[in-house]
Structure formats: structure tokens, C-alpha cells
Amino acid sequence: MVVGAAVLNDGRLLAARRSAPPDLAGRWELPGGKIEPGETPEHALVRELREELGVEAEPVARIPGEWPLKPPYTLQVWTARLLPGSGDPKPLEDHDELRWLTPDELWDVDWLDQDVPAVMEVVRHAWGTPTPEA
């Protein structure tokens, strides 16, 4: 299982552009990663955000649903927020660019195909607005 974090701050969603592997590089995703044996999804989310972005964050709520990735993986998504005192996210590993997207900008980035339905659910649950173009 892969956990994706919909990090929300000030009405914006954090998107990250992958730098590897080649077939995914240049596409945008929710930061996160594979859950390790013995780990809860929430713990994996906190660990991955610390490793990949250098931030201290906490999970807020699970977005209902599960999206198929390359077998055997599936993607589950939690909303998350930065803790007080956390630094700003930086693309430390796996990513070469980050963007905080307003609802208007959400579809300006080239999300991984498999992330599009997940991002649509994030929008529905976190912002409660329809997604015009998806």
C-alpha cells in the first residue's frame, strides 16, 4: 500500500513533481510512499513527509477510496497539515519541484494519471467544490 498526503495549508494543496523513476519523472503527485511492514498508514505518512520534504506534519482525515497503482500497490490518501514550527517543505528526495495549488490552479499541473481520481476526491472532501475539467 502507498499512502499519499494531501497537505493543506491556507486553502492550498501541496503537489510534488517526481524526479524518478524515468516513467514517472516530470509528473505530479501527492507526496508520500510505501507503507513499511509493521507501520500504520498514518505513521508512514508522517515519516515520508519528514524524509521527502523535511516537514513535521500530522494526518487529519482519511479520504474515502482506494486507487490502483502499479500492481500490487494501491493508493490511499489522508489529508494532513503542517505542525506549528515545521519548516516549509523542500524537495529533498524523489521530487524536483513543489507547488502550493489554489483550487483554481489545481489542474494546471500534470498529475500522474492514477492520481487524478484521488485528487478529485480530495477536492470534494476538503474543499467541497466540483472539479470542472476532470
Ligand X SMILES: Nc1nc2c([nH]c(=O)n2[C@H]2C[C@H](O)[C@@H](COP(=O)(O)OP(=O)(O)OP(=O)(O)O)O2)c(=O)[nH]1
| Interacting residues toward ligand X by CB under 6 A | 2, 4, 24, 29-34, 69-70, 73, 75, 94, 112, 114-115
Closest contact distance (angstroms) between CB of 56 and ligand X is 18
3-state secondary structure of 122: helix
Q: Which C-beta is closer to ligand X: that of 70 or that of 90?
A: 70
CB closer to ligand X, 61 vs 84: 61
Of 59 and 84, the one with the shorter C-beta distance to ligand X is: 59
CB of 38 to ligand X, least distance (A): 14
Cα–Cα distance for residue pair 18/73, rounded to 1 Å = 17
- Min dist CB 115 to ligand X, Å, is 5
Number of other residues whose CB lies within 10 A of the CB of residue 12: 15
Which residue's C-beta sits nearest to ligand X?
33
